[in-house]
């Protein structure tokens, strides 16, 4: 079940309070059963109002674009959605590049912290 919106809560609360006050003042009820009936009627009315408040609508779907514009938009979107990934070579294959001399691995020296 979706959560109630702020508008639904507001309209329901205002309806309960106003209708309860109006019914109590108009009926001049002073007995406990009379007040209980008015209270439950006000709660039911507030619930009915809260449920009939229109929910927010979704944004309309975009209208179809011409083919040239759609192709440009598709390529722009495809390049914007790329996530860069760091690529590393796990092992160097000296046989693949015989022209390059192989060097012994040297430790990387980085400055220590501050």
Global pTM value: 0.47
Residues 6+ apart with CB under 8 A from 51: 8
Mean pLDDT of 24-33: 90
How many domains in the chain? 1
Residue 30 located in a structural domain:
yes
Is the pLDDT at 111 greater than 60? The verdict is yes
Residue 20: what pLDDT?
A: 92
Residue 16 located in a structural domain:
yes
Residue 110 located in a structural domain:
no
Task: List the domain range (segments joined by +) for residue 35.
Answer: 6-50
Q: Which has more pLDDT, 68 or 18?
A: 18
CA trace torsion 8, 9, 10, 14 (10° rounding): 110
Residue 17 located in a structural domain:
yes
Digit-coded pLDDT (tens) for 72-89: 555 655 556 666 777 776
The CA distance from 31 to 34, in Å, is 5
Residue 90 located in a structural domain:
no
Q: State CA 113 to chain mean position distance.
A: 41
């Amino acid at each position: 079940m979706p959560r109630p919106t702020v508008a639904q809560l507001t309209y329901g609360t205002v309806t309960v309070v106003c209708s309860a006050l109006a019914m109590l003042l108009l009926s001049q009820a002073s007995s406990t059963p009379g007040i209980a009936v008015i209270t439950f009627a006000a709660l039911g009315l507030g619930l009915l109002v809260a449920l009939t408040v229109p929910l927010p609508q979704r944004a309309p779907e975009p209208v179809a674009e011409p083919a040239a514009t759609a192709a440009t938009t598709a390529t722009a979107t495809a390049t914007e959605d790329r996530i860069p990934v760091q690529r590393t070579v796990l092992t160097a294959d000296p046989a693949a590049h015989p022209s390059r001399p192989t060097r012994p691995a040297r430790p990387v020296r980085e400055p220590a912290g501050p």
